[in-house]
Amino acid sequence: MLKSLALEPAKCTGCLQCELACSWENEASFNPSKSRIRVFTFHEEGRFAPYTCTQCAEAWCLHACPVEAIVINGATGAKEVIEDVCVGCKVCTIACPFGTVNYNHDTGKVIKCDLCGGDPACARACPTEAITWVDADQTGYDRMQAWAARSVESIDATQGGGA
């Protein structure tokens, strides 16, 4: 069974351990700017949200690549960049609707989450389990629908029951 990253912003404290673990795992450097996962900070609310490549089923980055440098890892399902094939044109960075494919100025190639070959460093490093490595069935569309339903219920409650 395929696994995927489950991201739960409500559990994130903004410690950036995921960014440091990712940059160390992939670049042998504790440098968050080279991480393939990011933590977005909502300054006014004092909240944080980790985000990374969602490994889309219809990966626009993969389809946009003119040299076919992005391939699907059969074991993990990750869309991986083959560095030797990548020409650094950045078309995939434009194609990604989530902004999770980035350009590495040091190498002149793009980087994105490859799920660390099936053992994501970010999930291992997260002290609050805001990032976990779970069966793929526990993430995705059904979970998004449940979240949307809770949001609608919350809006209805604040507006006095709806219509």
Find all residues with CB under 8 Å of 61, minimum gap 6, and list them.
70, 79, 92, 93, 95, 96, 101, 112
**Count: domains in the chain:** 2
Unique residue bearing structure tokens 């393939």: 36
Residue 94 lies in a domain: yes
User: What token pair was written down for 104?
Assistant: 């590495």
107-157 tens-digit pLDDT: 999 999 999 999 999 999 999 999 999 987 766 555 555 656 666 676 666
17 and 102 Cβ atoms separated by less than 8 Å: no
Is pLDDT above 90 for 21?
A: yes
Is pLDDT above 80 for 158?
A: no
How many whole angstroms separate alpha carbon 64 and alpha carbon 11?
Answer: 34
Residue 102 lies in a domain: yes
Q: Please tell me the pTM assigned to this model.
A: 0.81
**What is the number of residues in the chain?**
163
63: confidence class by pLDDT, cuts 50, 70, 90: very high
- pLDDT on residue 136: 75
104 shares its domain with 125: no
Query: Which residue segment(s) compose the domain that 140 sits in?
Result: 1-53+120-153
103 shares its domain with 139: no
For the domain that residue 72 is a member of, what is the CATH number? Answer: 3.30.70.20
- pLDDT on residue 139: 63
- pLDDT on residue 147: 58
User: What token pair was written down for 125?
Assistant: 């490093």
69-116 tens-digit pLDDT: 999 999 999 999 999 999 999 999 999 999 999 999 999 999 999 999
